[in-house]
Structure 1
Amino acid sequence: MTHHSDMLIVGAGILGLSHAYAAARRGLKVKVFERSATPLGASVRNFGQALVTGQPPGQMLELAKASREIWGQWAQRAGLQIKRNGSYLFARTEAEEQLLEAFCAGRAIEHGYRVELLRGAALGDVYGGQFRHHRAALHGLDDQQLYSREAIPALIDYLRRDLGVEFHFSTLVRDIEPGRVHSTAGSFTGEQIIVCSGHDYQTLLAEPIAALKPQVCRLQMLRARPPINLNLQHALLTGLSCVHYGAFADLPEAAAVQTHILREAPHLHEHGIHLLISPTPQGELIIGDSHDYGSDPSPFNAEQVDNWLIELAEQTLGCKVQVVERWQGVYGARGPAPFSFLQAAPGVHAALMHTGVGMSVGPAMAERNVRTLLGEH
């Protein structure tokens, strides 16, 4: 039995859903296949931080800005709860403060990052002085934060209800050929097939994906409860992130930050630890993360890594936290570029992220891919 569509999409994570949106809003008939009963991969295990400020100048910054607009459309049309107040990146050391100063004086102006540097009384006013023990805070005005576990299902409901996208959950796609998908729910035909399989590099299109030499990154993450109601409305980061994010990492001033980390806390560098904190709608905090790269994510967490993350979070927040949940984040990593859109056969493509910013750039990346496939200019 065959069912014909304009586009068949494998994977209901943020990339799959973004491609479905880009196609369905043009009036195309779209089907999405997801092997689990609900998305369980990178798109729901993350911080829900859609960051513009951290992206490097050029393509990634432009994609993040365009994705911000798409998230805004989804918030309006799908009822997604999105905090659009921006982020705070706290400088804890003189080196981190000097790096943020240099960024604001140069690159931020040159490339149009919407930021402001808060110090002194302005920093003291943030959350009633809760963060005044830092030297400075970079307020990234365009950054957004959402709760992925609720946002992804809400986006699925919107695509199904308002745009007519047909979803097949608990359905494994076993094989693909041009114009046809073979799954546990039957065979389906379509003009275009897009595989958005996250970090699964072996089930579908294994040979062309292997040529990219991608890896998997696993992260240790926590959900915690503070003893006081912080009422956080922003994503939080520290200067540790400056050596990880392309907006800052190649500036000359970043070398001093890296030197300080290697001298004072080499374990943070060794485990790829930098602090991210996101509020949940329930007033709890998502805290992470570490970075461990390889061909397969290890199932074993190190308690010491969690302890370091908790220590960093408590230093930044100025209060203790109680852990209520622990899990592993996971995403595709270390390909030839931040992402790949490859053609495996006529009408058969794969869309893969090679870094952990799918929520930040995925919506606009998919829009661009669909526009290209349809021959639009």
Structure 2
Amino acid sequence: MTDLLIIGAGILGLSHAYAAAKRGLKVKVFERSATPLGASVRNFGQALVTGQPPGPMLDLARQSRDIWGEWARLAGLQLKRNGSYLFARSEAEEHLLEAFCAGRAQAYGYNVELLQGAALRDLYGGQFRHHRAALHGKDDQQLYSREAIPVLIDYLRGELQVEFHFSTLVRDVEPGQLHSTAGSFRGAQIVVCSGHDYQTLLAEAIAELDPHICRLQMLRARPAVNLNLQHALLTGLSCVHYGAFADLPEAAAVQAQILREAPYLHEHGIHLLISPTPHGELIIGDSHDYGRDASPFNAEQVDDWMLELAEQTLGCKVQVVERWQGVYGARGRVPFSFLRVAPGVSAALMHTGVGMSVGPALGERNISALWGAA
């Protein structure tokens, strides 16, 4: 009998597989598609520590940072560990970043530096001097998910003997056994990591969480000038989205400014993220559209707004080369869940879009709970 059967080869499934396999457990992973196609490869590849609120999410992000470092060393995946820059475009955003650095950052040990004046003007040869300030989140990491996830799978298969079953739909799970299009398999523990699919497996238990799906509009673009960008970029718009900043008193002025000057950004949940790829292009987004199902229809106006924000932030034009939809499970009562549905049957779910930031540590934590710290 296999020790652990995992359904889903996204970041949560792979994190659980790594945590179990490194303990010497026998692991099998099942994925319905020929390669992972969900949130884990559609995202920005930003593993952010700086944006996480104090408490469990910050702790998980810090632990995940260390695990990403292990994976980079062991599996050879490309990982930029030089941090991110969050730009303040207005006085209100600058005051918020100043308040964060003077208060919460010191109280909870965020590894950050606020660049203003000459330090900001020197950044990337003055490319971003039109901003008021830049918060350098030094613990933030960045990777190209489309390439990193397959590299991690190859490592788990080749070095830790994890057995993968791709193009395999798991139809049902029960204590000690799963039933799939490739046959039935026995396992001491089964963990369902099926992303935003709330209906195929353990539907009744998951429905009690009242889960929703978030759909994002995403772009890949080529900048008109060679920026040689080596950091993930954000703007003050993210300060009303990420828990590290959103509940600070100074965030109210930023939110009021957005509602006053660009209410459509709030209406469509738009806050700018930009990630460089290893091939000189940029991943740009994103918007947030919540519902029971992900609508297949994109709004061109939303893409236009995001591109306008990107060009303002970068200080140059960009040319779109690809568009797609991101999608993830969202809006649970808590950021993540680990459901013990039946003896030996569990489900690991994210209810926010920060799976890359906290998923590796969640896998470690959940496997630790199932097998102990050994």
TM-score, normalised via structure 2 length: 1.00
Q: Which of 192, 197, 202 is the equivalent residue of 1:195?
A: 192
Q: 2: CA distance between counterparts of 1:274 and 1:356?
A: 13
Question: 1:315 aligned to 2:312?
Answer: yes
Matched, 1:331 2:328: yes
Matching residue of 1:306: 303
Identify unmatched segments of 5+ residues in structure 2.
Answer: none
Aligned to 1:40: 37
- Quick one: distance in 1 between partners of 2:300 and 2:205? 37
Counterpart Cα distance in 1 of 2:301 and 2:152: 36
For residue 371 of structure 1, what is the amino acid of its counterpart?
Answer: S
Which residue of structure 1 aligns with residue 176 of structure 2?
179
Equivalent runs, 1:1-377 vs 2, <5 Å: 4-376=1-373
Q: CA deviation at 1:68?
A: 0.2
Q: Secondary structure at the match of 2:360?
A: helix
TM-score by length of 1: 0.99
Question: What SS is found at the alignment partner of 1:82?
Answer: coil
Q: What displacement does 1:305 show?
A: 0.1
How much does 1:143 deviate?
A: 0.2
- Output the amino acid matched with 2:146: R
Structure-2 separation of matches of 1:340 and 1:356: 14
Q: Distance in 2 between matches of 1:177 and 1:260?
A: 52
Aligned residue identity for 1:320: K
Alpha-carbon offset, residue 44 of structure 1:
0.2
Q: Deviations over 1:211-254 (max 9, x none)?
A: 00000000000000001111111000000000000000000000
Displacement after TM superposition at 1:375 (Å): 2.7
In the aligned structure 2, how far is the partner of 1:375 from the partner of 1:84? Answer: 31
Q: Aligned partners of 1:13, 1:176: CA distance in 2, in Å?
A: 19
* Cα distance in structure 2, aligned partners of 1:38 and 1:365: 22
> How many angstroms apart in 2 are the aligned matches of 1:368 and 1:177?
23
Distance in 2 between the 1:20 and 1:343 partners? 18
CA distance in 1, matches of 2:172, 2:339: 17
Report deviation, 1:351: 0.1
Q: Partners of 1:375 and 1:17 in 2: how far apart? A: 19
Paired amino acid for 2:50? T
Structure 1 unaligned regions, length at least 5 = none
Q: Deviations over 1:298-345 (max 9, x none)?
A: 000000000000000000000000000000000000112000000110
Report the count of equivalent residues: 374
CA deviation digits over 1:26-45, x for unaligned, max 9?
00000000000000000000
Letter in 2 for 1:256: A
* Cα distance in structure 2, aligned partners of 1:352 and 1:254: 29
**CA drift at 1:376:** 2.8
**What's the C-alpha RMSD, in Å, of the aligned pairs?**
0.6
In 1, Cα distance between equivalents of 2:6 and 2:320: 37
Q: Which amino acid in the other structure matches residue 26 of structure 1?
A: R
CA distance in 1, matches of 2:162, 2:235: 40
**Aligned partners of 1:366, 1:82: CA distance in 2, in Å?**
20
How far apart are 1:111 and its partner, in Å? Answer: 0.4
Structure 1 residue ranges, 4+ long, deviating more than 2 angstroms after superposition: none
1:188 CA displacement = 0.3
